[in-house]
Homo-oligomer: A and B are copies of this chain.
Amino acid sequence: MSESTARQSYHHGDLRHALLEAGIELAREGGPDAVVLREATRRVGVSPNAAYRHFADRDALLSAVSDASLALLATRIDALFDAIPAGSAELVARAQLRAVGTGYVAFALDEPGLFRTAFVAENLDRSSEASKSGRSGRSPLVLLTAALDEFVASGIMPPARRPQAEFLAWSSVHGFALLLIDGPLRALPREQADAVTQRVIDMVEAGFTAP
């Protein structure tokens, strides 16, 4: 977009933002390894070292891109979450669990590069820390936690199963996303992938609520 039109002035105006956008585009195309500092500056039309006015080093750029990817994932989940119709606390909680899982996998399928970038090693941590700190109040983990709390409150999940349940649910959905984008289910047509996603969530839900 704005990258393609040669800029007029010596100063860019918002180079940090432009580099971040370019980095996101690179991640979208090729995952975290494709976030190459020189290529980002090339796309923005600026000399390579200009990046160092805005990012300490290549890792700082990658981190920013990773954070942005995580935010896009969160947005996707939020949208499904907000579309849940009113109902009994139990039904809403079940729908919330489903929304988180469905949005998570859908994002992975639609944006595999960003998905992999969001979960670059050192950032996986941060995604859970950030949510604990409350900085991003609507992070997926927070939404998931709320849903599971309601599972217990409404009596469909035994309290003994509650500890760490977020991570059990997360594991299933995360692993499934990876089998779909990189793994043996890579060739599965989209509609079948969506159908099996629902079965992953069924399994998780049954695992939590089974007598």
The interface bits of chain A over 156-195 (1 if a CB of B lies within 8 angstroms of the residue's CB, else 0) are 0000010010011011111111110011111000000000
CB distance from A102 to the nearest CB of B (A): 14
Set B128, B186, B207: member contacting A184, Cβ < 8 A: B128
> Distance in Å from the Cβ of A96 to the closest Cβ of chain B?
18
A175 to B108, CA, bound (A): 14
| Interface-central residue, A184, A186, A209, by most chain B CB under 10 Å | A184
Please name all residues of chain B whose beta carbon is closer than 8 Å to the beta carbon of A184 when the two chains form the complex. 124-125, 127-129, 167
Nearest-CB residue, chain B, relative to A175 = B175
Indicate if the CB atoms of B176 and A124 lie closer than 8 Å: no
Assess the A176–B182 pair: CB atoms within 8 A: no
Q: Does A50 contact B (CB under 8 A)?
A: no
User: Interface size on A (CB < 8 Å)?
Assistant: 39
Selected interface stretch from A56-64, A67-75, A198-206? A198-206
Q: How far is the CB of A35 from chain B (nearest CB, A)?
A: 15
Residue contact A125 to B183, C-beta cutoff 8 Å: yes
Q: Are B176 and A168 in contact (CB under 8 A)?
A: yes
Chain B min CB distance to A131 (Å): 10
A203 — which chain B residues lie within 8 A by C-beta? 168, 172, 203-204, 207-208
The reply to whether the CB of A196 lies closer than 8 angstroms to some CB of chain B is yes
Q: Is the beta-carbon distance between B179 and A178 smaller than 8 angstroms?
A: no
**Can you list 27 A-B contacts with CB-CB less than 8 angstroms, sorted by A residue number?**
A119-B182, A124-B183, A125-B184, A127-B184, A129-B184, A164-B196, A167-B176, A167-B179, A167-B185, A167-B196, A170-B175, A171-B171, A171-B178, A171-B179, A172-B172, A174-B175, A174-B179, A175-B175, A175-B178, A202-B207, A203-B207, A203-B208, A204-B207, A205-B207, A206-B207, A207-B210, A210-B210
Interface contacts beyond A125-B183, A125-B184, A178-B178: sample of 4 additional A-B pairs, CB < 8 Å, sorted by A? A129-B184, A161-B199, A203-B208, A204-B207
Residues of chain A whose beta carbon lies under 8 Å from any beta carbon of chain B: 119, 121, 124-125, 127-129, 161, 164, 167-168, 170-179, 182-186, 196, 199-200, 202-211
